[in-house]
Amino acid sequence: MASLSHPYADSLARRAAFSRTLSNALIVTRREVRDSFRDWRIMSPIFLLTLVFPLLANAMTDLFITFFEENGAEPLLPALLPLLPMIVGFFPVSISLVIALETFVGEKERLSLEPLLATPLTNTELYLGKSFAAMLPPLLASYIGIAIYVGGLVFGDTQWRPPLVLVVQILVLTTVQALVMVTGAVVISSQTTSTRAANLLASFIIIPMSMLVILESIIMVQPHRRYVLWFLALGLLVTVALLVRMGARLFNREELLGRSLDQLNLRWIGRTFMQQFRGPQLRRTTPGAWYRTSVMPAVRALARPATVTVLCAATAFAGGWLAADRWPLPLDRVAVDDATLVENLQAWFELGRSNPGLILAAIGQNLRALALATMLGVFTFGVLSLIVVMLPFGLLGYILAQVAAAGLDPLPFLAGIAPHGVVEIPAILLAGAAALRLGSIITHPPAEMPAGEAWVRALADTVKIGIALVLPLIALAGMLEVAVTPRIVELVLAR
């Protein structure tokens, strides 16, 4: 009983549970790593890329240095030399990704998974054990490759002395890149039924990561911009966290054994979509009942993503406001008197009245932006949809801060935003929240629901909210923007 009343009992129990989880996971890791190192088909390419490729890269670098020196371009060398360590570190990771891709699906194919699933290991222990095992060989290969290459430059004829921070930066980038690739591969491995499918799906990891390495290289050759690489590393770390969360959430014994075919069942997708779209009502339903029983529950499901979206929009507004200080607009040199503004607005108002197509253009523009945000969100766990939604709020903060800093009357600007903004801003936030939910639901599907079904239902909810709420609001905002807002600004300026 004494232990129960111990003030740190909970903490001790948690620590013991964590230690047990880790210990069990490492049993799996040790076996897997040992097994990987016994497979010459895996080890020989890794060995070649780890040991031979850096030496080739060293030889190539020597040639480059000679060429630069002969042409009087030595000053460029400090900028160019850090490029190859990143490449040398990247190659072994991309090759040894096959280990991560094999993690679950390979065992499933070899029929050795079920005995493992029948042991007392928890899902978390199994997932962590397998993930550690998948991470270790690529990271090891990558570090050894970098060490050989950099060692060659440091101790060879070049006598390169890279700044410590640069070495750390390269190692951090290589590590987080490897982690993104491996955690992504483990997720793919747990969700496919054949190594072939897993390898094909791996292109969704390798291609974006190759593009990222190219982007990093472009930044790397501009030493004064290398600080950006830290932000990239941070972004990659967030991605790792999302992928680990997604993997742990999606990983379960049922999915691993229950799924037997990677079949695209269009009929099921269509039926599930329509079922979610219609809601619990039968086929024949009134619009009112549909809004009440289907649309409103979908809106309520947006509580968390909507909170995140609103917070991000507020942050973007504040960021825009703060950025105005650093990058001020020369508003004082743009002398536009109120009379000219009124004239411009009258012209705009007349244009809108004589050309209803302008309303459609305003609506179309907003819908295009929201559709783009939704599509980008699907491929980025909702991150890019958030960024697209944040942009106008950032701009708004920036412009209003400029107006305030220039000592101009903010009322006409607010009058130019508020009449249609009252309708448009909620529509943007609502669409942004739906896009965020759609993009991120695959990382945390509801319990007892496969990720695929959760996504199809979220898609139906997004379309439903789009049709039932966002579209009407955007249409109304478009009409207000063209027909009402200029009139109100005109009135404000004419005071």
What is d(CA 480, CA 419) in angstroms, rounded to the nearest whole number? Answer: 7
In angstroms, give the least distance from the CB of 135 to other proteins.
20
Task: Report the candidate in 168, 216, 207, 215 with the shortest Cα–Cα distance to residue 184.
Answer: 207
Backbone dihedral region of 192: left (phi > 0), alpha (psi from -120 to 50 degrees) or beta?
Answer: beta
Can residue 112 be called a binding residue for other proteins (CB under 8 A)?
yes
The C-alpha atoms of residue 457 and residue 467 are separated, in whole angstroms, by: 15
Among 11, 119, 340, 355, binds other proteins (CB under 8 A): 119
- How many Å apart are CA 474 and CA 230, to the nearest integer? 39
Cβ 366 to other proteins, closest distance in Å? 39
> How many residues bind other proteins, per CB under 8 A?
26
Q: How far is the CB of 256 from other proteins (least distance, A)?
A: 9
Burial label, 274 (beta-carbon count in 10 A; 0-12, 13-18, 19+): exposed
Residue that the structure tokens 């060989």 belong to: 137
**Taking the CB of residue 239, how many other CB atoms lie within 10 A of it?**
19
Closer Cβ to other proteins, 18 or 204, answer by number:
18
Q: How far is the CB of 253 from other proteins (least distance, A)?
A: 5
**Measured in whole angstroms, how far is the alpha carbon of residue 369 from the centre of its chain?**
18
Comparing CB distances to other proteins, the nearer of 136 and 306 is 136
Residue selected from 226, 253, 444, 487 as contacting other proteins according to rule CB under 8 A: 253
Rounded to a whole number of angstroms, the minimum distance from the CB of residue 117 to other proteins is: 5
Shortest distance, position 199 Cβ to other proteins, whole Å: 21
Least distance from other proteins to the Cβ atom of residue 261, Å: 11
CB 186 within 8 A of CB 130: yes
**C-alpha to C-alpha distance for 249 and 245, rounded to whole angstroms:** 6
Q: What number of other Cβ atoms are within 10 A of residue 375's Cβ?
A: 16
Interacting positions 120-179 with other proteins (CB under 8 A): 120-122
Packing angle, helices 411-440 and 471-483, rounded to 10: 160
Question: Smallest distance from the beta carbon of 31 to other proteins, in angstroms?
Answer: 5
Hey, what's the torsion of the CAs at 357, 359, 361, 362, to 10 degrees?
Answer: 170
* Candidate ranges 110-118, 354-362, 428-436, 479-487; the one touching other proteins (CB under 8 A): 110-118
- Two tokens, residue 85: 């360590």
Q: How many residues does the chain have?
A: 495
- Binding residue (CB under 8 A) for other proteins from 257, 322, 360, 491: 257
**113 is a contact residue toward other proteins (CB under 8 A):** yes
Which is closer to other proteins, CB of 155 or CB of 268? Answer: 268
Distance between CA atoms of 286 and 304, rounded to whole angstroms? Answer: 29
Return the amino acid letter for 234. L
How many Å apart are CA 152 and CA 57, to the nearest integer?
10
Residue 226 beta carbon to other proteins: minimum distance, rounded to whole angstroms: 44
Site for other proteins contains 6 (CB under 8 A): no
The verdict on 332 binding other proteins (CB under 8 A) reads no
Among the residue ranges 113-121, 173-181, 293-301, 345-353, the one whose residues contact other proteins (CB under 8 A)? 113-121
Residues 258-287 vs other proteins: string with x where CB under 8 A? x---------x-------------------
288 binding other proteins? (CB under 8 A) = no
Cβ(483)–Cβ(420) under 8 Å?
A: no
151 with 195: CB under 8 angstroms? no
**Binding to other proteins by residue 115, rule CB under 8 A?**
yes
304 binds other proteins (CB under 8 A): no
Segment 26 to 45, residues that bind other proteins, using CB under 8 A: 27-28, 31, 35, 38-39
Residues at the site binding other proteins, with contacts judged by CB under 8 A = 24, 27-28, 31, 35, 38-39, 107, 110-122, 253-254, 257-258, 268
